[in-house]
Chains A and B, each alone.
Chain A
């Protein structure tokens, strides 16, 4: 069965803040309703907590870490669901139930299954 990563792009919020409680509950409901199709999921801390890692040159080179990236755009990557679906149409139907789909956007990417 094909797998898809559904990446949620929404406002760059702190999901533990009290004002997010209601929306977070909506995401939980989605997780319960589609427990059979959701194989893994995660909610991310805001982009202000992110660290970008690069190794200069080749493997073993100096490790450069930078703070950020801070969300420049209105929408940031805020979480993901790994979903299993028969085909793209079935995956889109599930993705359309993720609250981010109406609060922001959901990017559905097919996952490469090792041969």
Chain B
């Protein structure tokens, strides 16, 4: 998608999610609202490239979507489906265009319904991409590495559950927000992670999940500016995104942190990320959460001019806290690397044994052994790292090069 047609499609996609949020509240049915918005979007895609985008695209889409919703309700009634009593029809005709603050409230409702704890985490992610990002089932399947059929089934089941089990369409009470926000933030964070580290190699699709995740993080932060967790998520995403231009070289190969050209880091994003992080820390009265700690680690890296200038003791301190509040093999491995960078290689090697085996663990162990000049063993670890990762792993070439380098050193020794 590109050029004029692409721009029209993009407007429709972004406006569509706002319209959807309000329409779901009016008709009280996710499926019906989605169908109506979908039909309005198709109408716009047919008309706008010819007539030009109307001066108020949102109004055009809203009016069209409502008309489509009325058509759908009439068709259902003609079939004898007496579920609706007609009050929606009245509301659809009388309701004026929703003002901005109402649309914002509706979007927040939609976010909390899509990320409801009674839905499974993969379902929350798929629903968020469908309803909040306006992606098609095919696009969702592509970015989540699954099939279109499976995605469609998952979405249908989710809408059925929302309707049959009466999952409410409302923003939780202030007191319940701490319980409900983690699920929402986890969806946004996992979208970014999925976009940032595609296991099938660098982004080959036309949807940029990182951009979508940041858009949602911005939205959630705008809607709930006083909440520390969404603020920390946005800070983390921006600080990570800031390094993106340096993360891949001209040939598309991943550049590890120690070799990245820091002049290519986006200083504006870093400044905003640090500001948001400080704001988030000031607003929280409890122990730092996983997002705040990860953002703090990214900010600490961003603060110094070079890899060699890194304050590794501070980084280790932050990772110590992170593995306490949110233990995961990924954060434990990162902590081991930081410990090794302080010079404690033996301690780092010992810690590695306590972490479940993975391709990344082999790669790290190889690097640590090489620092102890145990090159033959390092080669064996890199071989295992290469054997246990998919052929398209983004760090494959890097690891092959390291393996061959260690082999050379082993031969010389």
Give chain A's interface residues, CB within 8 Å of chain B.
2, 4, 86-89, 91-92, 108, 110, 112, 115
Complex Cα spacing A86 to B118, Å: 16
Establish whether residues A110 and B82, one from each chain, have CB atoms under 8 Å apart when the complex forms: no
Q: By DSSP majority rule, is chain B's interface helix, strand, loop, or mixed? A: loop
Query: Closest residue of chain B to A89, judged by CB?
Result: B168
CB distance from A18 to the nearest CB of B (A): 38
Assuming the contacts A88-B118, A92-B118, asked whether A110 and B83 have C-beta atoms less than 8 A apart, the reply is no
Complex Cα spacing A4 to B166, Å: 10
CB distance from A110 to the nearest CB of B (A): 4
Establish whether residues A88 and B167, one from each chain, have CB atoms under 8 Å apart when the complex forms: yes
CB distance from A93 to the nearest CB of B (A): 11
Q: Does B165 contact A (CB under 8 A)?
A: yes
Instruction: List chain B residues, Cβ under 8 A from A4.
Output: 165
Q: Does B309 contact A (CB under 8 A)?
A: no
Establish whether residues A88 and B168, one from each chain, have CB atoms under 8 Å apart when the complex forms: yes
* Residue in A86, A89, A115 whose beta carbon sits within 8 Å of that of B83 in the complex: A115
Query: Closest residue of chain B to A111, judged by CB?
Result: B164
Instruction: List chain B residues, Cβ under 8 A from A108.
Output: 165
| Interface mask (B165-176 → A, CB under 8 Å = 1, otherwise 0) | 111100000000
Known: A88-B166, A88-B168. 16 other contacts (CB 8 A): A4-B165, A86-B166, A87-B166, A87-B167, A87-B168, A88-B116, A88-B165, A88-B167, A89-B167, A89-B168, A108-B165, A110-B164, A110-B165, A110-B166, A112-B164, A115-B82
Query: Closest residue of chain B to A108, judged by CB?
Result: B165
Complex Cα spacing A13 to B83, Å: 43
Instruction: List chain A residues, Cβ under 8 A from B116.
Output: 88
Query: Closest residue of chain A to B168, judged by CB?
Result: A87
Instruction: List chain A residues, Cβ under 8 A from B83.
Output: 115
CB distance from A87 to the nearest CB of B (A): 4
CB distance from B158 to the nearest CB of A (A): 13
Q: By DSSP majority rule, is chain A's interface helix, strand, loop, or mixed? A: mixed
Complex Cα spacing A87 to B113, Å: 12
| Interface mask (B158-197 → A, CB under 8 Å = 1, otherwise 0) | 0000001111100000000000000000000000000000
Q: List B residues 148-166 near A (Cβ within 8 Å).
A: 164-166
Complex Cα spacing A87 to B167, Å: 6
Residue with the greatest number of chain A CB neighbours at <10 A, chosen from B82, B116, B118, B165: B165
Complex Cα spacing A108 to B167, Å: 12
Complex Cα spacing A110 to B166, Å: 8
Complex Cα spacing A72 to B82, Å: 44
Complex Cα spacing A91 to B167, Å: 10
CB distance from A90 to the nearest CB of B (A): 8
Give me 11 A-to-B residue pairs in the complex whose CB atoms sit less than 8 angstroms apart, sorted by A's number. Answer: A2-B166, A86-B166, A87-B167, A87-B168, A88-B116, A88-B165, A88-B166, A88-B167, A88-B168, A92-B118, A110-B165
CB distance from A79 to the nearest CB of B (A): 21
Instruction: List chain B residues, Cβ under 8 A from A89.
Output: 167-168
CB distance from B77 to the nearest CB of A (A): 13
CB distance from B76 to the nearest CB of A (A): 12
Which 9 residue pairs of A and B lie closest in terms of their CB atoms, listed nearest first? A87-B166, A87-B168, A110-B165, A88-B165, A110-B164, A2-B166, A88-B167, A88-B166, A89-B168
CB distance from A1 to the nearest CB of B (A): 10
Complex Cα spacing A89 to B164, Å: 13
| Interface mask (B75-116 → A, CB under 8 Å = 1, otherwise 0) | 000000011000000000000000000000000000000001
Instruction: List chain B residues, Cβ under 8 A from A92.
Output: 118
Complex Cα spacing A115 to B76, Å: 14
Instruction: List chain B residues, Cβ under 8 A from A115.
Output: 82-83
Residue with the greatest number of chain B CB neighbours at <10 A, chosen from A2, A4, A89: A89
| Interface mask (B111-133 → A, CB under 8 Å = 1, otherwise 0) | 00000101000000000000000
Complex Cα spacing A4 to B165, Å: 8
Complex Cα spacing A71 to B135, Å: 45
Complex Cα spacing A86 to B168, Å: 9
